[in-house]
Amino acid sequence: MSLVIKRYIPLVLTFLMGIIMVFATYFLAPGTPEREATALLTGTVDVIVVTAGVIGLVVLLRHHTLNINRRGRFWKYSIITLIGVAIYLIIGIYGVFTHPTHLMYASDLFSWVYSNIYVSMDMTIFSLLAFFIASAAYRAFRFRSIEASVLLIVGSLMLLGRAPIGGVIWEGFPEIATWLLNVPNTAGNRAITIGIAIGAILLAIRQLLGIERGYLGPEQ
């Protein structure tokens, strides 16, 4: 594959699409035909997502099939994974063919499997994380430095303020926890959000100018 196809054409397309979207967002009024025409470009994201989903499914099946054939680590769980993927895929395809109106919305059986099986297992796994969080908190909440001391004090106040036993010990613990959550925590989150936004803008500018080329793969 020539360098023009691998490098220059993607860079030109990225620059043109980026400039069009910037111009449409900041210089075209919402509801105008020109703005609606540029909105069609966002539909290409759906095509990319669907393609990535199909590729991800193929990679998943290939990985677990090889793991089963080689009797690799936890290969029995690979069998369960393949069975789950096959059943869910069959249910989804069955819903599409039996209910044409469900091309845009999941069928009742598809939604039932997701809501009653997947969500329940997801909540079970998430509940197990509480033990890891407690273990991590025990290792982190130590007076090793000033930062660790502040973390210990704030974490202890939040635990006492959010746990029912904290309000029983003293009525002020819930108020302190609410203040910590609404004032210092909100200020820190806003600062992080502003930093992320500035970084995203700089990254977008670098991509438009062709300086950032990581999405094109390694240069050879």
Measured CA to CA, the distance from residue 82 to residue 89 in angstroms comes to 10
> Where on the phi/psi map is residue 117: left (φ > 0), alpha (ψ -120 to 50), or beta?
alpha
Domain ranges of the chain: 141-210
- At 192, the pLDDT band (50, 70, 90 cuts) reads very high
- Cα–Cα nearest to 112, from 125, 95, 98: 95
Distance CA 180, CA 166 (A): 15
Quick check: helix, strand or coil at residue 204? Answer: helix
Is residue 17 within 8 A of residue 41, CB to CB? The reply is: yes
Task: Point out the least confidently predicted range of 4-18, 167-181, 200-214.
Answer: 4-18
Comparing 5-14, 83-92, 118-127, the range with the smallest average pLDDT is 5-14
Q: Which residues contact 78 (CB under 8 A, 6 or more apart)?
A: 64, 65, 67, 68, 72
Least confident of 72-76, 126-130, 165-169, 179-183: 126-130
Alpha-carbon Rg for the chain, nearest whole angstrom, is 26
Q: C-alpha angle with apex 212: 206 to 215, nearest 5 degrees?
A: 125
Highest mean predicted confidence (pLDDT) among 118-122, 130-134, 191-195, 207-211: 191-195
Q: Looking at residue 113, what is its pLDDT? A: 84
- Element holding 53 (H helix, E strand): helix 43-69
The secondary element (H helix, E strand) that includes residue 213 is none
Average pLDDT across the chain, whole number: 84
Residue 92: band (very low, low, confident or very high) from pLDDT cuts 50, 70, 90: confident
Predicted local distance difference test score (pLDDT) of residue 130: 78
pLDDT of residue 76: 92
| C-alpha span between 160 and 169 (Å, rounded) | 9
The mean-pLDDT minimum among 10-24, 55-69, 97-111 falls in 97-111
The answer to whether residues 10 and 205 touch, using CB atoms and an 8 Å cutoff, is no
